[in-house]
Amino acid sequence: MAEINGNFLNLEESYLFSDIAKKVAAYQKAHPEKRVIRLGIGDVTLPLTPSVTAALHAAVDEMGKAETFHGYGPEQGYDFLRNEIAAYYQSRGVELDAGEIFVSDGAKSDIGNITDLFSSENTALIPDPVYPVYVDTNLMNGRRIVYLKAGESNGFLPMPPAEAKAGLIYLCSPNNPTGAVYSKEQLEKWVEYALDCGAVILFDAAYEAYIADPSLPHSIYEIKGAERCAIEFCSLSKTAGFTGTRLGYTVVPYALTAAFGGKEVSLNRLWLRRQTTKFNGVPYIIQKGAQAVFSPEGQKETQELVTYYMKNASVIAEALSAKGIPYVGGINSPYIWMKCPEGLKSWEFFDELLNRCSVVGTPGAGFGANGEGFFRLTSFGNHQDTIEAMERFSAAF
């Protein structure tokens, strides 16, 4: 009889979003006259921009003609897109070869799949609270996890531990759920630590486009030496509204190696081998849409999307500041991580916010033990609704 990978039995069921949905449905049933506003959305709401949809339409037409039809493409992405991504990095002073960039159907897949390259004997350092994918994919591999406490005392930005020598280090900046962003100096410490213990940093830059402060790094490769110790994941999901369209990219530098039997093995070659074996590339049509994101017009439109969401973030931030409620995020991130007022726990505040204001957010405890007592608000909603939600909040708390 076939046996399963028993590690799957170590995964905890996640009821966070289903519990929220149940509570909101029950509330709406009891109060049909109330208009519920959701500030808990972890998905974008604005549509694809005109230059992207034009490129998608044109690519569909190409696929319908024998002369311009595309079948299987390169697994790691078409050069036209990899070159655009390399140029995007170059605009920030990061020199990458197109061969170091791998196009995929999103950051989540790559973050999960990258664990294929590493021994399950490695220890993974993972912040808490955290994007649940890092934890679950390591549990599936049976890897030991050491949690890095992110709390008020470190501004929700954990720094390298004094003791534990890690194999893998997960960093997400700007962070989901906390919205906190590492400074250049802080990332330099992480790079130094990783080089020192031979660890690989898995850097999730899915929200880099939201960074407004020019002194903050968008990419781990803005730090010297990171090309020898880091893999970076990025995505057009939150940047250009591609959550349903699907396109991400992962950078695995040529200079990056990991050990096997006393030898150094290129992770770029390993990832190429893994992708060409298990993945057959992103649809040509979608890659053409992604290429349009990197055009000057596409970049302008993308900036407009980000600006719209960031206006929501400031509405939320101002309302919290006016009440003297501590929070992080919101300036360089679409997420705001607030301390629950009145000494409430995460789920207690969820209930109070729903009952008093008909507003929905996400309890911080759902992202890890250290999230208890905190709450995540997002700026992905409609602007008028965000204003109304925060007016209701200001009147009720």
Q: Distance between CA 275 and CA 332 in Å, rounded?
A: 33
Minimum distance from CB of 6 to ligand PLP (Å)? Answer: 27
Among 172, 209, 226, 306, binds ligand PLP (CB under 6 A): 172
Torsion over CA: 311, 312, 313, 314 (sign): positive
Closer by beta carbon to ligand PLP, 178 or else 358: 178
Least distance to ligand PLP, CB of residue 106, Å: 3
Q: Could you give the CA distance from residue 76 to residue 1 in angstroms, rounded to a whole number?
A: 37
Take residue 145 and report the two structure tokens written for it: 């996890």
The verdict on 376 binding ligand PLP (CB under 6 A) reads no
Please give the residue whose beta carbon sits closest to ligand PLP in the complex: 106
Site for ligand PLP in 39-58 (CB under 6 A): none
Q: Which stretch binds ligand PLP (CB under 6 A): 104-112, 216-224, 264-272, 288-296?
A: 104-112
Residue selected from 38, 108, 288, 376 as contacting ligand PLP according to rule CB under 6 A: 108
**201 belongs to the binding site for ligand PLP (CB under 6 A):** no
Contact at 8 Å (CB) between 222 and 230? Answer: no
Residue 243 binds ligand PLP, judged by CB under 6 A = yes
- Interaction between residue 176 and ligand PLP (CB under 6 A): yes
In DSSP terms, 200 is beta-bridged to: 168
- Among the candidate windows 18-26, 105-113, 297-305, 310-318, which touches ligand PLP by CB under 6 A? 105-113
- In sequence order, what are the residues at sequence separation of 6 or more whose Cβ sits closer than 8 angstroms to the Cβ of residue 248? 103, 104, 105, 106, 107, 108, 109, 110, 233, 234, 235, 236, 237
CB of residue 175 to ligand PLP, shortest distance in Å: 8
Q: State the Cα–Cα distance between residues 125 and 148, nearest whole angstrom.
A: 7
Examine residue 336 and tell whether it contacts ligand PLP (CB under 6 A).
no
Tokens of 313: 């973030």
Position among 94, 206, 223, 226 found at the interface with ligand PLP (CB under 6 A) = 206
Q: Note whether 218 binds ligand PLP by CB under 6 A.
A: no
Q: Please say whether the beta carbons of 168 and 124 come within 8 A.
A: yes
Query: DSSP string covering 337-363, please?
Result: EEEPGGG--HHHHHHHHHHHH-EE-EE
- Total residues at interface with ligand PLP (CB under 6 A): 13
Note the residues at the interface with ligand PLP (CB under 6 A). Answer: 106-108, 131, 172, 176, 204, 206, 235, 237-238, 243, 248
